[in-house]
A and B are shown apart, each in its own frame.
Chain A
């Protein structure tokens, strides 16, 4: 038991498979099932959005219709067709109809629910100085540490709030990195997105605490379509964390999020994700379909965007956090651990588009496959003619546990400048027998030995995570590896 408590979000629920699988009984306000123009209008109306926002949504929705349910097919994943009419596009806890003014106004039931998840919404119970925006189904329910952030000028609120309070910023940047025409799921998201976080860091400000959004799908048959927009103005710095869980459901749930990052001159954004959506049970029933578009634009000179992700959940992961390196001397980084077990499928990687001079990118991806799962790294490095002296280094390593799983590597390397230097390396193997033997011979059990080796394999990525997240990631790894050997 003590061991489980280390997993900060574990909660004493007696289920050692997926510890976040309980659902809360919170009354919610749902839009009717299905998707239509009326639903889009309804979502916009519920959010009390201005006319321009509604128009944008409708344009996106109309574009999505022209795609005629043609989901992208190139990824190495296999799933039955999604019925986009058979889900709810909007669900919000009833009590949030009027946004809470302070923490005390937050519905005690919701507060309790997030406590259960290990995300205390009460500021006194500090989560080591992390400001949290909690999103339950389609609505943001609480944002902590508002005052402290306001003092330094950082705006951290839900997107729906930002649409009303900072329309200029939203208008200027929303859809500027991921336009609604980008892909099928981005178009869908733009039409029906419900909530998400908005961050603006003013020039020269180093955000004093880590910002975090905690996503939770609670309602049955709902899709979650959040949209996150982070803008780091000149010379600023922000570190943002994202965590996600969902209850155990026999049916699949769709999560199609869009994240846009914008870094101006000399700004830096560090974006970390711990993705732990419900992966489905051991027979592959249920689980979240995670189709996410994440992209950062390193627009300014000397700007930097860094993605770190630990992907352990979801039945299907389709996710390529990318960086467009527009500014001269800009830097893009991608650090990833993707662990799949049972019947999970992950097709994940990154895109690094080098446009500016002296741009640099680093990609380190570690994939672990167990059970009957399939894990694919798919990444693109594109060096445009203008990107003089661009540099890229890519390393993708895969570990296989068991002979029923698969590990795949599909890099796309496109070089159009002779001064560029790019190198890609990938290896695939199983956990080394001689290392296992050595550890066992020292008295360490097979399962622990296996975990130690795999933890070491991922260490380089974990150290990129903020401290609390790193400990949690390594625990998450352990929980998800349980029962994979022997």
Chain B
């Protein structure tokens, strides 16, 4: 017991001083929500126990629990050029920049056009009703783990996006979370709320970028609510520092005929985890979730995806690909639930892995839980190396081993990258992955 106390001492101190300063200015409903989240965190702690803990079976969050991380209370000084050098950037996007979890208005574009975007801190200060209606309302918050409670306990800044009924957003919204990697190891808890009204259409890009190779912890949550007929294209990039910790989750509520498309790119992080939960609570809703992770060095990346088919005629597609090198480890946990009555569900999930190094490890768990009979569901998982016969063919045509293998590995990754519709983002990703992907290093 004493150990637990010392372990979370820093969080406790930070919570008290945060609640006394910033928190005291927040509305009462938010304070009480934060307080109950804080007690929930004290109860849960981080999910360090692995025995019988299926969601965290292959990921040890001990290093996060043991790290001494102070709350980032203000953004560090970084220049826009520094940011642009590392992060994806396109002037045609509506860019919102956050440094160490704090909104930086001078680097951010102003909300023009038909999309309403405000920083969460501003929205709270304005008494925006949308925040009170939607914050913490995303599905499965009750069963959430310590990370979610911790984020809610420290709710302060982030973004609020509102796409009105029938509106097609004229430009993608880019939420750029920069971690400065300042001298002190810090933690930030950005929170994003996205409300898509009926028949609206939008594109959201979330980038998490580290500027320096230091220890820090990003604990992010994105809550998305999609009314009937809404369409969303959601890109998410993890390009943090080599020593960073990143635990993120996106929780999506889907009403009837809504279409949620997600593409997740994970390139750099020390210990990274992304939970994606879509609750398909309307007839005819569909989701298409794609992902690409490339791990090297001693990275550890865990993708945990839950798709919950609640109503008839819903369709889900889950397609993740991974490339593993060095001593890295990747975890894929995909779970599809088909609830009683959700007939005519059509679901397919697939996880493919290229294991390139003898010291790398991939753990894949594509699970299906089906409680309705009139369904078509399937899943597949593969792990292996690039195909020897294909390499042989390419070499016989005059390519050397390195060029041939690079092409095959890049081709493997590009299947996901080329599905990116936004030109600027796709070019950035092609460069990011192409420049860093390995070639084949050994022969059998």
Residues of A in contact with B (beta carbons under 8 Å apart): 72-74, 76, 383, 385, 389, 398, 400-430
Contacts and interface: CB of A to CB of B under 8 A. Distances in A.
A398 B370 contact: yes
A485 B362 CA distance: 42
Nearest to B331: A414
Given A423-B381, A428-B370, A430-B373, 11 more contacts: A74-B52, A74-B54, A389-B444, A403-B343, A408-B368, A416-B360, A418-B356, A421-B385, A422-B384, A424-B364, A427-B376
Interface residues of B, number: 38
A409 B384 contact: no
B393 interface: no
Contacts of B363: 412-415
Contacts of A412: 363-365
Q: Which of A403, A404, A413 has the most CB of B within 10 A?
A: A413
A413 B381 contact: yes
A410 B367 CA distance: 4
Contacts of A411: 364-367, 381
5 contacts: A74-B54, A385-B359, A400-B373, A413-B363, A424-B379
A414 B353 CA distance: 11
Given A416-B361, A423-B380, A424-B381, A403 B366 contact: no
Contacts of A415: 353, 355, 361-364, 383
A430 B374 contact: yes
Contacts of B392: none
Nearest to A421: B384
B382 A401 contact: no
Nearest to B366: A411
A420 B377 contact: no
Nearest to B363: A414
A407 B362 contact: no
A423 B382 contact: yes
A404 B357 CA distance: 46
Given A403-B340, A412-B365, A424-B380, A418 B373 contact: no
Contact of B378 (A72, A421, A428, A430): A428
**Is the contact region of chain B dominated by helix, strand, or loop, or is it mixed?**
strand
A410 B385 CA distance: 24
A243 to B, nearest CB: 31
A409 B349 CA distance: 12
A407 B379 CA distance: 13
A424 B370 contact: no
B370 A406 contact: yes
B33 interface: no
Nearest to B53: A74
A415 B381 CA distance: 11
B371 to A, nearest CB: 4
B380 A420 contact: no
6 nearest interchain CB pairs? A400-B373, A421-B384, A415-B383, A413-B364, A410-B367, A409-B368
A364 to B, nearest CB: 15
Given A408-B369, A428-B368, A420 B381 contact: no
A423 B340 CA distance: 30
A96 to B, nearest CB: 41
Contacts of A428: 368, 370, 375-378
A407 B380 CA distance: 16
A389 B357 CA distance: 14
Contacts of A383: 383
Contact of B372 (A389, A403, A417): A403
Nearest to B380: A425
Given A403-B343, A406-B371, A415-B383, A425 B378 contact: yes
A410 B365 contact: yes
B358 interface: yes
B61 to A, nearest CB: 19
A395 to B, nearest CB: 10
A420 B356 CA distance: 10
B370 A408 contact: yes
Interface in B324-373: 340-341, 343, 353, 355-373
Nearest to A388: B444
